[in-house]
């Protein structure tokens, strides 16, 4: 008996057909899949076109923020530049005036120019108007000379610049005079004329070496004062004794003045006003208030 390949058709059971709705569903699902594949393809194509092969998109650079310095004092501007990791270039003088201070704290920023991590500032003394337009830089004033001036005039001039004045004797063996003395004349100064240029440091001190008015200055600051001229000897009294009387004995030479006792408890290297005098430290070391060829200021040094 042969076995049929297909089961026999049962009469009365018609073959099952796919509905129209099912046919439409299968067709729409295929369209959705094709649309999704097309969208992915467009995205990949856009990535290949916009970004060259082997290169990555670079992030946009971050713009560095430069602080606004105009209107600030020079020390305030320096502090902000340091916080921004910017260097301060050589400042320029864009405006000047009379009877103004020339220290750094008295300088006001009128303009700024930042390039290559360096800021160049245009400055003017406090109280002087900034120029409305760009102008060529002016020359910074240098430290003036006070040699030959009366002490009050020299002191007033330096203090008007915002500087501190220290008065010292020009002679090494003379104590420093009173700071309010009026009958004094300036022989020299330290720093010398032109050694410092504005804007001056706020702590800059100017030492003025003085002598009494009408007195000659020493050849070098720190030299001892000249010896006073001896008084003329009085004329001998006329002889009233007979020739046979013995001549009067000559007067004994005056005893030299005793040397001053050493100053006790001095500190090696500290400034001293007992010029050329000896002293002792707390340990008993003998010191002398003197100068050296390298340092003209009087300090306690080993004797």
Condensed to tens digits (0 to 9), the pLDDT of residues 275-286 reads 888 888 888 888
Question: What pLDDT does 15 receive?
Answer: 43
Encode burial over 15-33: b for 16+ CB neighbours within 10 A, e otherwise.
eeeeeeeeeeeeeeeeeee
Question: What pLDDT does 31 receive?
Answer: 53
| CB within 8 Å of 287: residues ≥ 6 apart | 266, 268, 278, 279, 280, 281, 300, 301, 302, 303
Residue 95 pLDDT > 50, yes or no? yes
d(CA 60, CA 238): 115
Percent above pLDDT 70 for the chain:
75
Residue 105 pLDDT > 90, yes or no? yes
Split at pLDDT 50, 70, 90, the class of 268 is: confident
Split at pLDDT 50, 70, 90, the class of 96 is: very high
Question: What pLDDT does 40 receive?
Answer: 66
Residue 288 pLDDT > 70, yes or no? yes
Question: What pLDDT does 6 receive?
Answer: 43
Of the given ranges (142-146, 192-196, 227-231, 236-240), which has the lowest mean pLDDT? Answer: 236-240
Split at pLDDT 50, 70, 90, the class of 250 is: confident
What is residue 40's three-state secondary structure? helix
d(CA 283, CA 277): 18
d(CA 137, CA 116): 21
Residue 63 pLDDT > 70, yes or no? no
d(CA 162, CA 100): 8
| Adjacent-strand bridge partners of 210 | 169, 186
**What's the gap between Cα 217 and its chain centre?**
35
Region class of 117: left (phi > 0), else alpha (psi between -120 and 50), else beta: left
pTM of the model: 0.55
């Amino acid at each position: 008996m042969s076995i049929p390949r297909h089961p026999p058709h049962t009469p009365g059971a018609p073959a099952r057909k796919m509905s129209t709705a099912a046919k439409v569903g299968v067709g729409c699902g295929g369209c959705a899949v094709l649309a999704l594949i097309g969208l992915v393809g467009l995205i990949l194509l856009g990535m290949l076109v916009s970004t060259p092969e082997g290169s990555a998109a670079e992030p946009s650079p971050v713009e560095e923020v430069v602080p606004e310095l105009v209107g600030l004092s020079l020390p305030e501007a320096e502090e902000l530049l340091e916080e921004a990791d910017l260097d301060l270039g050589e400042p320029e003088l864009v405006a000047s005036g009379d009877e103004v201070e020339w220290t750094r704290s008295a300088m006001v920023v009128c303009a700024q120019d930042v390039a290559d991590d360096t800021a160049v500032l245009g400055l003017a003394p406090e109280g002087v108007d900034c120029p409305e337009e760009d102008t060529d830089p002016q020359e910074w004033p240098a430290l003036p000379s006070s040699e030959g001036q009366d002490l009050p005039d020299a002191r007033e001039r330096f203090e008007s610049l915002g500087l501190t004045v220290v008065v010292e004797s020009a002679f090494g063996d003379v104590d420093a005079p009173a700071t309010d003395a009026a009958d004094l004349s300036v022989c020299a100064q330290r720093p010398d004329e032109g050694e410092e240029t504005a804007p001056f440091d706020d702590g800059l001190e100017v030492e003025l070496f003085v002598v009494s008015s009408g007195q000659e200055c020493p050849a070098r600051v720190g030299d001892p004062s000249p010896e006073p001229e001896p008084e003329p000897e009085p004329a001998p009294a006329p002889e009233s004794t007979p020739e046979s009387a013995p001549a009067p004995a000559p007067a004994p030479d005056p005893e030299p003045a005793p040397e001053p006792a050493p100053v006790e408890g001095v500190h090696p290297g500290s400034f001293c006003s007992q010029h050329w005098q000896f002293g002792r430290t707390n340990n008993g070391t003998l010191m002398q208030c003197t100068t050296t060829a390298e340092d003209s200021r009087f300090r306690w040094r080993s004797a």
